[in-house]
Structure 1
Amino acid sequence: MSLQRDFQTVVPFEVCAPAQQRIPFVFNSPHSGHYYPPEFLQQSRLDAHDIRQSEDCYVDELFASAVPLGAPLLRAHFPRAYLDVNREPYELDPKMFNEPVPSYANIRSVRVAGGLGTVAKIVGEGQDIYKSRLPLNEAMDRIETIYKPYHHQLGQLLSDTRAQFGYAVLIDCHSMPSGVEWGEPNSLTNQPSRPDFIIGDRFGRSCSDALSWAAIELLQNMGYHVAHNKPYAGGYITEHYGRPHRDFHALQIEINRALYVNETSLERLPSFATLYRDLAQFMADLTALPDYVFLRHQQAAE
């Protein structure tokens, strides 16, 4: 099985938790994993550097201040190119496998069409990962031994948080290539506008509006350019766990990689430390929002 073969010396994911959870927040970094199993690399046509193009480099480190604030941080060690837990469990491209995929697999999603299903076909700007088709059981093993336990862990963290505090807030942490465009071109330079951050809430469906606007305002007050839902409104995790009417709020945060990392070498820039400090302050302010921001849906229903 994939877990026994590929993760003998490294756990596929872990929870970094405070001694006692003090705030109703859970932070999640599902795409920052950078342990590439040797057999996986042997299956790939890419080298150990090029295969990292879809990785959310160092995002788990950027949000590490959540733990001393009193919130757990769930982080993946497996890479997104190996398995993407921000997808439905069975978004599979049948052309990737030797055998037919199960009838219940979602083979027609937009993400599968783009090569970015649960087991991705490509990284970066369309570079194929694999040398040849995979045995279907390769994908099914990854889903059974890593994907499902990951989501079980995330769901348990959120359920425990709501039980303790009356509501739970999931902050799903990601990064994006610097080339992502936003809105109209700059009127002075006629160059495309590019956001520093994108806040995604599934167009208001995954969390309290007040949470989204608080996040946007906090970042803007720090001098960052912030977009809302475009072009990233939140993936499967935000959509699946964001149930504000049940006191589960989910917000996705995308960070422009050019703020902190050389996108070619993947080395941290000197600005990494500044961004780390800004995010620590951002998290401290965001997690200090009053309860009514999150409970008003329940109050309205009453």
Structure 2
Amino acid sequence: MQVFDVIRGDSPIVLGQPHGGTEVPGAIAGRLNPNGTQLADTDWHIAQLYEGLLPGATMVRSHVHRYVIDANRDPAGVSLYPGQNTTTLVPLTDFDGQPIWHAGQEPSADEVEARRLAYHAPYHDALAAELDRVRAKHGVAILFDCHSIRSNIPFLFEGELPIFNTGTNLGTTCAPAVEAAVDDIARASGRTAVLNGRFKGGWTTRHYGQPAQNIHAIQMEIAQRAYMQEAAPWAWGPSRAADLRPQLQKMLDHLTTLALSGAITSEGSA
């Protein structure tokens, strides 16, 4: 099974996609209960949504489903949102709080560690290498972490999620100009948008976002109603996606311009 792939480009932008994969090794798949086998919490069609938006962007995408191990969680198992409902490094429930494993088939601590080594670590080794390569070429790298989620999940948040949910961990993972470049376009799109709302950036954004080291990271969580059907069979929505993609393209183009201008190097943003 292919754990991840890398599409290498020469842009200063790296697109991370940790949750679009649907691969589940057979021995693990057999332990998922009927609810778990639906893989409902996938970032469905995320690669297709971003495909071709920024020629030259590097893409690092996991093929392993988040029920095997969540590549956007702290490998030490520390909660991203203390005191709030969330899922863990290897989830025991879905986003609705319902079990995904057959009773007695939940992974042990030793198994979680084995999965971390087999799936989580290689993905992040590849992502770190690409960010280092891009920074060496341009003097700066911007990680745009690509996510999507159902619009209504009472277990995780109240009400309906805005279309654009930009996360920078309260401005700590990127220069202000990077945050503004994305959030301003989201708000000007005429769609609902929030900055550092329920989703402030996962472990990937928080771990790699080191503006003083010229690596900036930002998470974009998109409500899936903007581009697809939010229930099985999770169908792609061509007309909705066609309306959404130009907004994402504007964000990536603006970030590219910022990076190439030198405005957000550690010297330029001091």
Matched, 1:53 2:40: yes
Flag the 1:284–1:159 CA change in 2: closer, same or farther, 3 A. same
Flag the 1:259–1:109 CA change in 2: closer, same or farther, 3 A. closer
Alpha-carbon distance in structure 2 between the residues aligned to 1:248 and 1:69: 20
- Give TM-score scaled by structure 1 length: 0.79
Give SS of 2:27's match. helix
TM-superposed deviation, 1:47: 4.9
The aligned counterpart of 1:98 is none
Gaps of 5+ in 2: none
> Which gives a bigger RCO, structure 1 or 2 (Cα 8 Å, sep 6+)?
2
**RMSD across aligned positions (CA):** 2.5
One-letter amino acid matched to 2:5: E
1:111·1:117 contact (CA, 8 Å) conserved in 2? no
Which of 179, 182, 185 pairs up with 1:218? Answer: 185
One-letter amino acid matched to 1:62: L
Alpha-carbon distance in structure 2 between the residues aligned to 1:212 and 1:162: 19
Give SS of 1:251's match. strand
Flag the 1:87–1:167 CA change in 2: closer, same or farther, 3 A. same
TM-superposed deviation, 1:110: 4.9
Alpha-carbon distance in structure 1 between the residues aligned to 2:91 and 2:189: 35
Question: Residues 147-296 of structure 1: matches in 2 within 5 Å?
Answer: 147-179=120-152, 194-265=161-232, 266-270=234-238, 271-289=240-258, 291-295=261-265
Alpha-carbon distance in structure 2 between the residues aligned to 1:149 and 1:56: 20
TM-superposed deviation, 1:298: 2.4
Give SS of 2:40's match. helix
Flag the 1:279–1:110 CA change in 2: closer, same or farther, 3 A. closer
Q: What's the CA shift string for 1:270-296, capped at 9, x where partnerless?
A: 31233234433442333223534312x
Greater gyration radius: 1
Alpha-carbon distance in structure 1 between the residues aligned to 2:168 and 2:81: 19
Give the stretch that moved more between structures: 124-133 or 24-33: 124-133
Question: Residues 60-209 of structure 1: matches in 2 within 5 Å?
Answer: 60-66=47-53, 69-91=55-77, 106=78, 110=81, 114=85, 116-131=87-102, 132=104, 133-179=106-152, 194-209=161-176
The aligned counterpart of 1:4 is none
Give the stretch that moved more between structures: 202-211 or 40-49: 40-49
Flag the 1:111–1:44 CA change in 2: closer, same or farther, 3 A. farther
TM-superposed deviation, 1:241: 0.4
Aligned length: 262
Which of 8, 26, 29 pairs up with 1:17? Answer: 8
Alpha-carbon distance in structure 1 between the residues aligned to 2:142 and 2:110: 35
TM-superposed deviation, 1:111: 6.5
Gaps of 5+ in 1: 1-6, 92-105, 186-191
TM-superposed deviation, 1:64: 1.8
- Give TM-score scaled by structure 2 length: 0.87
1:208·1:293 contact (CA, 8 Å) conserved in 2? no
Q: What's the CA shift string for 1:194-253, capped at 9, x where partnerless?
A: 411011111110001111111112233332221000011101111110010111100000
One-letter amino acid matched to 2:236: R
Alpha-carbon distance in structure 2 between the residues aligned to 1:112 and 1:36: 30
List structure 1 segments (4+ residues) > 6 angstroms apart after TM superposition. none
